[in-house]
Chains A and B, each alone.
Chain A
Amino acid sequence: MKAASIEFRQVTKRYGEVTAVAGVSFVIGAGTLVTLLGPSGCGKTTILRMLAGLELPSSGTILIGGEDVTTRAAAERDVSMVFQSYALFPHMTVLENVRYGLVVSGLGKPDADARAHAALSTVGLTGLDARLPSELSGGQQQRVAVARALVLEPSVLLFDEPLSNLDARLRRQMREEIRDLQQRLALTVVYVTHDQAEAMAVSDRIIVMDRATIAQEGAPRELYEQPRNAFVAGFMGDANRVHGVLTRRDATHADVRLGPVTLTLPHAGVPDGECEVAIRPEAIDLRHEGAAPLPATVKKASYLGQLMEYTLDTPIGTLFVISTAVDRPLAVGAAIGVALASHGVVVIPAAPGNA
């Protein structure tokens, strides 16, 4: 396989009045797995489809392996795709499905069959050659779909929400297999999902999309710990957003006042004055009353087995907290103190009109 890099330069896609993708640029390195993450309607699937050649951009340039493929038809691109619905041809057997791409590109039957078998064993599916797709389980269909895409040894492999039709248990297994396959074969993979946990589990890098533009791009940890704005903070996991005031800054850090508490945090370029602070639920330490600067009252408590969820009333607002101290639950109405950890607390610009 010859994994290729991908580059989008100022790509825009409009459907009549609606702009699905607005001037998006990014680079994906060869042999990496990059996830396009975002809510439905953010433009992530449109980007994937433009990459596959199923849609052509209204403007901008798409390069694959350094070559301009902007106006090239899907069939002319060295790109394969695994569809959300798998899109297995219902009138063809497993083997016919997998070798279809090879046969269409003119390879003889014996060679095509040999390579199709190799691809099927790569995804761990042997002995089902003669089955029709309707006779397979969901996980098996998924594997056939991956084998069918892999068999062409594409320079780019695309996944469009590949796990959304599987149950939760199978989903974890398949995502590990996809990641494993990608690393084993050093593939360039672009992966679309709206599930943040799935994205973090499989990706080298994540591109978070919001309303047709890129909200932030980076490694999973970077996005979780240093979201650049409220949208990314909220989409990459639960976040309590509280109001703060930014003062006294140096090159990297600033003092941020949250009600009675003042923290020193990286300011990430946010200007002095009003700002917002995103606090991850697990970044809040629960202490005894008076043992921490921020007083709090327990308003709701839920037991979830491996952890506890609390809703607290505090002077800086309502906070949602996750605690692993399952064996020492707090009662509703209890007065406690709250401390904020140094990680998992991020300054973000004040949302316009929301301060």
Chain B
Amino acid sequence: MSLARRPLLAWLVVGAAGFVAVPWYALPDSVFALAWVPRIADKAASPALLQVFAHGRAWLAPLGLLLVAGAALLAPGVSRSVRARALIGIGAAGFAYGFAQGFAIGPTGWSYEWLAAALPPPSTGQYGMGLGALSVVTSFGMLFSLGLAGRGYFKGDAFVAASVVGVAALVVAFTFFPVLRILVSALQDGSGAFSPAALPERLFREKIWGLGCVTGATRCGVAWNTLVLALLCGAGCTTLGLAFALIATRTGFTQKKLLRVLTVLPIITPPFVIGLGLILIFGRSGLVNQFLEFAFGLEPGRWIYGMHGVLLAQVFAFTPIAFLVLIGVVEGVSPSLEEAAQTLRAGRWRVFSDVSLPLMRPGLANAFLISFIESIADFGNPVVLGGNFGVLSTEIFFSVVGAQLDQGRAATLGILLLAFALGAFYLQRWALGRKVYTSLAGKGDAGLPTPLPDAVRRLCYGVALPWALLTAVIYAMALAGGFVETWGRDYTLTLRHYGKAFGIEWTPHGILWAGAAWNSFWTTIKLSAIAAPATAAIGILAAYLLTRQKFLGQNAFEFGAMLSFAIPGTVIGVSYILAFNVPPVEITGTALILIVCNVFRNMPVGVRAGIAAMSQIDRSLDEASTTLGARGFTTLRTILLPLLKPAVVAALVYSFVRSVTTLSAVIFLVSAEYEWATTYIINRVINGDYGVAIAYSSVLIVLMLVVIGAIQWAVGERRLGRRGAGVSAAGAGQLGVGTA
């Protein structure tokens, strides 16, 4: 059966059900709770068909007519090519019209003045799209895909066509649309009217670009703060990362495995834990201040707060990432080149300075830029340790959440931050794309790495080891802080904070989750557990499309799929608020927006993992499957997925962990009902309630360690005969790299 009519029928049924049987608009409670069933004739809960005839929303009628037209194509007499062409037309028209009417008509009639001026006002308004609308536009999207496949696009494979259209639509909706919305917001004045003059006026303020701190009188603008902090952080992380990498690969250091542990830390640690640890050591009631007061009678000060504190925390937090990048680079320098230099009479120092170091240069640039990007995107450490020192990410947050409530300002700052991030990202691509010197040939390169010159080696040890020790101390403090009464004043051991956060009481009615943290804890775990499979699925699917298929616009598709990686979390957060608190997609304050946000923020990781794993599987395997009669979906399910299992698991774990420990984006999106673990903790920190915050953070870190450990143990070293399937869960660590 060519251009199978069965999928067409199935998607038409979905569309029809969405049109006649399910509420068209979003309901206050979940549509799956079925509370709407008795009220289906109500204006708020009616399906589209009733909306058209009973509630005066005639503009929905064309969608129904298009569905009928689609059904007519099921007639047996219709030729293959006519059906395909018609499906493309009907699908595109229905999809476009479905969204166009949603944008055009809002709660109070026409959404745009030029529409109101040109057309008579609609008889009534409308709200955000619900399950009915979603089913119908999805159905049209799929009809469009079936048509494309029928015309021979995507090699005639309907599953591939539908996947490309589906993933592209999702990326446009949840990455491009919010970013576009933030750009538009920056061009609007306080009342929402279009005013392009507002942008430069907002963008070139003293508060953003001021250089008062240079002359000493006032503070500098947040843009300068952000840039200077990021430059220093990049330099610090790169230096330390290089020292660690040299120790790990070019010395006889015996505890190399311990260094590897370093690389897992940033993945499992919520972003502000380092800041918290620093406060416990250097803060007003921290160990250092107390010692100074005790020994010299010095008044405890708040001197850790400010740029140097944030910088310190960021360098602690992001050095492991630089290390991970640089260890690959250092290992990639071909020993035979160094040996060649030695045979040409160069001493150790000359070998290092003339050969090894220049060969690492592109890698150093990469590590620097990655640390730079991490720094400007960081929200947790500046908010905990910044004090009066503001950076873009915190300013964005306070202009939305604080008393200012200035969305235009938030949008403007967001654009600026986005521009910095994309600029650095572009530079990083450029640095990576330039001549890569590291030798990947591997074979025939039997030489031994030249030992470091003594001075360099001593320098590396001198810098890196105290730093590693301090990292260990910070983590120890962060874990220990949860077990004492009040840090700085009363060091009595107690489980009070854990009880307050995670208390459980047995009552006659069953278990009572009495602890204050349970609500946010379960929300985080539940929503992350929903988001992780979705992330992995979309990521692997996108990777499949990118590596295994060829289609028009593939480069744009890849750009879109990877774009959200370059967007700082605060920008995503702001843009989601701006984009999704008005119809047609009105999901702020729901669990859905938290899930969606995490899925699309972490998707690039899944894509990367999928691409890496798939490039190890010979393409002829899928082709063999295809010629044996299996379509794209069957091939993906029976051939690729079994071979990709380790990569799928890695993507699952990684997206779950990232989702649990994320802060910068979700802090804009949480509500009283759906609170995130990290936002709960940060609020405790801001209130000075360190005990609970520390206890909660420790629980998260331990939980994440257990999750990663358990999965790694379960997946183990799975091998398929001679063909290693590669990428084990251990690869999860690497996934974080080259990222930001």
Contacts and interface: CB of A to CB of B under 8 A. Distances in A.
Interface of A: 52-56, 70-77, 79-81, 83-85, 87-91, 100-101, 104-105, 132-135, 148-149, 152, 158
A76 B623 contact: no
Interface stretch (B309-317, B353-361, B565-573, B628-636): B628-636
Given A87-B618, A87-B623, A104-B634, A75 B721 contact: no
20 contacts: A53-B626, A54-B155, A54-B626, A71-B152, A71-B156, A73-B156, A74-B155, A75-B630, A75-B631, A76-B156, A77-B627, A83-B623, A89-B624, A90-B723, A104-B628, A104-B630, A133-B721, A134-B721, A134-B723, A135-B721
Contact of A72 (B156, B625, B634, B720): B156
A255 to B, nearest CB: 53
Contacts of A135: 721
B295 to A, nearest CB: 66
A87 B620 contact: yes
A79 B156 CA distance: 16
B157 interface: yes
A52 B626 CA distance: 9
B198 to A, nearest CB: 44
Given A73-B156, A75-B631, A134-B723, A87 B626 contact: no
A91 B642 contact: yes
Those 7 A-B pairs whose CB atoms lie nearest each other, nearest first: A134-B721, A71-B152, A101-B628, A73-B156, A87-B624, A87-B620, A74-B626
A53 B626 CA distance: 9
Contacts of B472: none
Contact of A100 (B2, B628, B631, B643): B628
Contact of A75 (B152, B621, B626): B626
B497 interface: no
B509 interface: no
Contacts of B643: 90-91
A73 B621 contact: no
A80 B627 contact: yes
A52 B720 contact: no
A83 B638 CA distance: 19
Nearest to B722: A134
B720 A91 contact: yes
Contact of B618 (A53, A70, A85, A149): A85
B83 interface: no
B204 to A, nearest CB: 44
Contact of A74 (B149, B620, B627, B638): B627
A80 B624 CA distance: 8
A79 B621 contact: no
A71 B156 CA distance: 7
Contacts of B149: 73
B496 to A, nearest CB: 53
A74 B630 CA distance: 9
Contacts of A100: 625, 628, 630, 638
Residue from A75, A83, A85, A133 having most chain B Cβ neighbours under 10 A: A75
B501 to A, nearest CB: 45
A71 B152 CA distance: 5
Contacts of A72: 2, 156
Contacts of B468: none
B721 A73 contact: no
A189 B639 CA distance: 26
Nearest to A85: B620
Most buried by A among B623, B627, B634, B642: B627
Given A89-B625, A91-B642, A132-B720, 12 more contacts: A54-B626, A56-B152, A56-B156, A70-B152, A72-B156, A89-B639, A90-B721, A101-B628, A104-B628, A134-B723, A148-B624, A148-B628
A251 B71 CA distance: 67
Interface string B673-709: 0000000000000000000000000000000000000
Contacts of B626: 52-54, 73-75
Interface in B597-652: 618, 620-621, 623-631, 634, 638-639, 642-643
Contacts of B625: 89, 100, 104
Contacts of A54: 155, 623, 626-627
B723 A73 contact: no
Contacts of A77: 627
Given A72-B2, A76-B2, A105 B629 contact: yes
Contacts of B409: none
A146 to B, nearest CB: 12
A76 B628 CA distance: 9
B151 interface: yes
Contacts of B642: 91
B621 A87 contact: yes
A85 B624 CA distance: 10
A80 B152 contact: no
B351 to A, nearest CB: 42
A75 B160 CA distance: 13
Contact of B720 (A55, A90, A149, A158): A90
Interface string B174-192: 0000000000000000000
Contacts of A104: 625, 628-630, 634, 638
B720 A75 contact: no
B721 A132 contact: yes
Contacts of A152: 628-629
Nearest to B618: A85
Given A90-B721, A91-B642, A81 B152 contact: no
Contacts of A70: 152
B623 to A, nearest CB: 5
A88 B617 CA distance: 12
Contacts of B151: 71
A70 B2 CA distance: 13
Contacts of B156: 53, 56, 71-73, 76
A83 B720 contact: no
Chain B CB within 10 Å, residue with most, of A81, A84, A88, A91: A91
A74 B549 CA distance: 13
A253 B161 CA distance: 59
A73 B1 CA distance: 12
Contact of B627 (A53, A56, A89, A105): A53
